[in-house]
Amino acid sequence: MTNDDRKIREKFEHKTWNEIKTNDSWSLFKIMSEFVDGYEKLSKIGPCVSIFGSARTKEGTKHYELAEKIGYELSKNGYGVITGGGPGIMEAGNKGAHRGEGVSVGLNIELPFEQHDNPYIDRDKNLEFDYFFVRKVMFVKYSQGFVVMPGGFGTLDEVFEAITLIQTKKIGAFPIILVDSSFWSGMMDWVKSTLLEQYGNISEKDLDLIKIVDTEQEVLEAINEFYKKYSLKPNF
């Protein structure tokens, strides 16, 4: 490489790095706008429970129908429903809340596949996000419980994020309910036998708020039982 080539490359790289830094700085305003919009809209919704699960779950399947029943039962008992706003389990949860005439919230995010709005979200409670981390803050801050249906990596991410925040006392405790024992028992057996008993990487009390259930009534009972002891309020 000649000296002239080196100077041209250094100039280009310097310009590109400056552009990157400028873009990073301006992106803060977009991030702030998502937080502000989310806080303003969600602070008005009242007590809500988030329902998580796979976007690939089809209507008419066991898990879709169960998620719809859970959304319905929650709404009839005074809880709103928050989902990721997309298809599959998210759609089923919103559909149940809509059928029960309760609050139905969708926290949508633009993805290259799977994600699109479902038609059961309240029009004034359909939020759009570009950033996963902002969206996750909204789930945690405004949910009084997580109901977790079978899902993939995204669902697992939400479960362990919530457990970590509670474990480290960054947020107040709230119930985490895993639905379908045949799906979740293997994972929880591994957590107990490996993380807890074999390696001691967690404490037994870390698992106290996780409950595995199989029916919509068990979901409702678990949430109501928890809030006999604690007040309903935003998590931080």
The predicted structure's pLDDT at residue 94: 98
With 0-12 CB in 10 A as exposed, 13-18 as middle and 19+ as buried, what is 208?
Answer: exposed
If you average pLDDT over residues 11-37, what whole number do you get? Answer: 76
- The reply to whether 63 and 172 lie within a common domain is yes
* Selection from 74, 111, 73, 69 nearest residue 87 by Cα: 111
- The reply to whether 205 and 152 lie within a common domain is yes
Share of the chain above pLDDT 90, in %: 80
In this structure, are residues 142 and 116 in contact, taking their beta carbons and an 8 Å threshold? no
* Selection from 167, 156, 174, 162 nearest residue 206 by Cα: 167
Prediction pTM value: 0.89
Residue 146 within a domain: yes
The predicted structure's pLDDT at residue 1: 58
* Selection from 153, 114, 98, 107 nearest residue 128 by Cα: 107
- The reply to whether 154 and 205 lie within a common domain is yes
Task: For residue 190, give its domain range.
Answer: 47-226
Share of the chain above pLDDT 70, in %: 89
Which carries the bigger pLDDT value, residue 231 or residue 215? Answer: 215
Average pLDDT, the chain: 91
Pair of tokens at residue 73: 């039962």
The predicted structure's pLDDT at residue 231: 79
- The reply to whether 7 and 67 lie within a common domain is no
- The reply to whether 28 and 92 lie within a common domain is no
26 pLDDT above the threshold of 90: no
Alpha-carbon distance of 140 to 93, in angstroms, equals: 17
Estimate to the nearest angstrom the gap between the alpha carbon of 61 and the chain centroid: 22
178-217 pLDDT per residue, tens: 999 999 999 999 999 999 999 999 999 999 989 999 999 9
